[in-house]
Structure 1
Amino acid sequence: MKKATAIFLLLVYLFGSTDASQLLKFPLLVEHFQKHRQENNHMTLLTFLKLHYVDDQPFDDDYLQDMQLPFKTPDIICMTLPTVGPPAPVTLFTPVIELPREDYLVINDGPPPYRLPDVILQPPKSSSAPLS
């Protein structure tokens, strides 16, 4: 499953952002070559390729078909170029919140509540008188 997903993503990348999608036009090349072979029986594949890819392309009856051949016209693809530059300065802003000062009246001046178990629970004290 992972292998199939990886192959699928690779194909999406190749056909979406490179000229590999031109390979899908290969059947048009074969069909167009066969058409030229019917018109001129002595035409070879190299002559056909030279006529369509090396020589200047004349505007003739099959000009639109010639322009549909692979690698004749560029496809519009999305190109992304990463840019690396100096990082933008980062400024941290920490707002200072001043709380209003309030005076509180202390009612109980005794020990704090968390210290009460120490005052109430104490170990028994031993008497200094010997047991007889």
Structure 2
Amino acid sequence: MKKATAIILLLVYLFGSTDASQLLKFPLLVEHFQKHKQENAHTTLFSFLKHHYIDDQPFDDDYLQDMQLPFKTPDVICMTLPILVPAPVTLFTPVIELPREDYQVVNDGTPPYRLPDVLLQPPKSVSALLS
């Protein structure tokens, strides 16, 4: 049952969205070839195909029949356009927590940028120094 379903779905696809449906016009090709063969007994299959598919098609008495032959005119029945929907993209940056460390301050004196203030002070009196 699965095989039959697969074949049916394949045929529906082939005849619905490709030019395989043109093969259904094959009996018209045979009938038209027989008509040309009756008109001219020297017509070969190759000359018939060359006349109808390779040479320029003149607008003659059987022009409408010529245009009904397979692969003469495009039959746009169904046009499929595959649409690919990409999976949603999630961007994230992992948060890396660094371990918290306590640092011991070794130099607790005057910062280097404050040294000129300490060195360059006005002179003090001797009594201020003794007290």
TM tier relative to shorter chain: 0.5 to 0.7
Identity among equivalent positions (%) equals 82
Higher helix share: 2
Q: Give ranges in structure 2 of 5+ residues lacking alignment.
A: 91-131
Q: Residues 7 and 73 of structure 1: is their aligned pair in 2 closer, same or farther, counting only changes over 3 Å?
A: same
Q: Does 1:9 align with 2:9?
A: yes
Q: Separation in 1 of the partners of 2:86 and 2:22?
A: 38
Q: Who wins on radius of gyration, i.e. which is larger?
A: 2
Runs of 4+ in 1 over 3 A off after TM superposition: 83-90
* Aligned residue pair count: 90
Q: Give ranges in structure 1 of 5+ residues lacking alignment.
A: 91-132
User: Cα offset for 1:89?
Assistant: 8.9
1:63 corresponds in structure 2 to 63
Deviations 1:36-88 (A, max 9, x none): 00000000000000000000100100000000000000001221223458788
1:80 corresponds in structure 2 to 80
State the TM-score, normalized to the length of structure 2.
Answer: 0.63
Q: Does 1:41 align with 2:41?
A: yes
Q: Is the partner of 1:69 in helix, strand or coil?
A: coil
> How big is the alpha-carbon RMSD for the aligned residues of Structure 1 and Structure 2?
2.0
State the TM-score, normalized to the length of structure 1.
Answer: 0.62
1:98 corresponds in structure 2 to none
Q: Separation in 2 of the partners of 1:27 and 1:49?
A: 15
Aligned 8 A contact 2:29 2:70 in 1: yes
2:112 corresponds in structure 1 to none
Aligned 8 A contact 2:17 2:80 in 1: no
